[in-house]
Amino acid sequence: MLPSELLLVRRREGRIWPRYAKLSSENLEVAKLLIEAYSRHVGEKKNVLKKLVGELEDMGYDYRFARGLSVLLDRRSDFMCDVKVDPVNLRRKLYQATGKSGLPTTPEQRSRIIESAASELKLTAEMAEESFYADLDSELVLAEFNPLPPQELLKSYNVSLTQTLLFSSTELDFTASGNWQRIFYAIKRLGLIYEAYRSGDFWVKIDGPASLFKLTRRYGTALAKLLPAIIGNPRWTVEAKILWKYTNEICNLKIESWKHSPILKTPKPPVVSYDSVVEENFATRFQALKSGWCLRREPEPVPAGKHVIIPDFSFERQSLKVYMEVVGFWTAEYLRRKIEKLKKIDVNMLIAVDETLACEKLAKLEKRAKLNIIYYRKKIPLTPVLRHLKEAFQPVEEKQRWFVKNLPVTFLEPVVNYEEFAARIGVSTESVRTALTENPPQGYTALPNSLVKRDKLKEIGKTLQEQTSRLDRLPLSEAARIIETEGVGDAPNILKALGYKIIWRGITPETAEVVKPENKQTRKNSQI
């Protein structure tokens, strides 16, 4: 944050935004000069540094920009009163001496008063002169300075501009791609008033300091401290209504990650951590299944009345999301309260409850259509979770199958890969596989992973037959090479469709051989 008199903004047609410092060579040079000046002047008074800032202003730089950078460098500096005597006590002695002798009217009278007070404190007159105002801000001495790269200084300056502007906000709305646990912890710790809602993404609305009748300074400081937690995400949007005090006009502020992240200093994203070994163990086992579901740790919050719930996990697939909350130590009353809170949500939620950590006997608990409780011991079982996910995805899959079956498309490619086609039209691979294997397009043969034109199968079969005309067997690697040369993958299923058998002589494919089909099977394949 910066002093309000150093705020730089632009306004146009009801919009307002900070006048951010671009990471240009000119601005980087200014930042570099100031950082080097602070580094060189350790041991000197602050007023010397401020003279250097004044020189930049004389060179034509906006005084608010130069002084804003200096304010940020001051916060990375340790200034101290570098005198042996307490200046307050020294001034008291001087005032007492002046009260006894009267106000000095000549330099000689002034010198006698200073010498009298100095001798009482066992100081020389010169030391007393130097120490008299040593505790004033401009007289403090730079004892230590923590430098930073010029680019980081400019980015910190841009964040401080935004925070200063938010002091005049009446409300602030934001959304982020993650880090919600940390964000809501900060909201509660800072005592901010918030409301959660959905508008496509999950949004949080916070009352701004300009909307309150008192404590605006303290509240504005709290709101400014929240900003780094928001912009520390890969994707975020911040919108605010700013009361511009000079015209009493409400202006709209909007900043977004895709545009502003490169010029704002953002904290490093927190390392994904788990609250317990049980959660980490579950995540590791689930992700190893390659089930087609994307598992996310601490996804976006879920509105629950006036409050929010941050689930431990979300399972995401296509347009569907299923959440899961893991409950460790609990009482039946705690679980009832948890369920009462979960009744207010409007999402599909799984609750995994560790029954070994119950401190009392399990009571019968009410279930709702969208609440599913899984009790576990030591580790969360995968089977009931997968069963629930399958049931939840079934309506989506049925719609997708209907969509694929009624899709007005004519295939021209010799090979249609189910996974690639599913990604192209935005449905699951299983939906495409089921729809196309139940009713293959004319002229195609449906295999487990792809559609292959029958003419292409005949070409592959003819080539394989030529290679096996002399011998009854062919190395599997050679057969796979022939099939891949024809632009088709999935060699085992192609060979099976053509009636060939694979004889394994161990567990590695290098020693496996392909046996040509019997005459009857060959005749059958020739009719494909």
pLDDT, tens digit only, all 528 positions of the chain: 888 888 888 988 889 989 999 999 999 999 999 999 888 888 888 888 888 888 888 887 888 888 899 999 989 988 877 667 777 777 777 777 777 777 776 777 777 777 777 777 677 777 776 676 666 777 787 888 899 999 999 999 999 999 999 888 888 899 988 788 788 888 878 888 888 887 778 888 887 676 655 446 677 788 888 898 899 888 999 999 888 877 788 899 999 999 998 999 877 665 666 778 888 899 999 999 888 889 988 777 887 776 778 888 889 988 788 998 888 766 767 777 777 777 777 788 888 888 776 655 545 444 544 567 888 888 899 999 999 998 888 888 888 888 888 888 888 888 888 888 888 888 888 888 888 888 888 888 888 888 888 888 888 888 877 777 666 677 778 778 878 777 777 788 888 888 888 887 777 777 787 787 765 444 444 444
Q: What is the pTM of this model?
A: 0.61
CA distance 494 to 456: 11
- Give the per-residue pLDDT at 490: 76
What φ, ψ does residue 183 adopt, rounded to 5°?
-65, -45
CA distance 238 to 232: 12
- Give the per-residue pLDDT at 351: 85
Bridge partners, residue 453, by sequence: 444
CA distance 237 to 527: 61
- Give the per-residue pLDDT at 217: 63
- Give the per-residue pLDDT at 193: 80
CA-wise closest residue to 496 among 470, 524, 469, 467 = 524
Most distant CA atoms of the chain, gap in Å: 131
CA-wise closest residue to 225 among 169, 183, 170, 271 = 183
Task: Report the DSSP pairing between strands 371-376 and 320-327.
Answer: unpaired
Residue 154 one-letter amino acid: L
CA distance 486 to 489: 9
What would the CATH number be for the domain defined by 277-393? 3.40.1350
SS (H, E, C) 241-284: EEEECCCCEEEEEEEEHHHHHHHCCCCCCCCCCCCCHHHHHHHH
Phi-psi domain of 122 (left: phi exceeds 0; alpha: psi -120 through 50; beta: other): left
- Give the per-residue pLDDT at 369: 45
CA 506 to each of CA 459, 474, 476, 480, 514: distance values in angstroms, whole numbers, following the listed order:
30, 16, 13, 18, 14
- Give the per-residue pLDDT at 383: 92
| CA dihedral of 409, 411, 412, 415, whole degrees rounded to 10 | 150
- Give the per-residue pLDDT at 212: 56
- Give the per-residue pLDDT at 523: 43
- Give the per-residue pLDDT at 330: 67
- Give the per-residue pLDDT at 253: 93
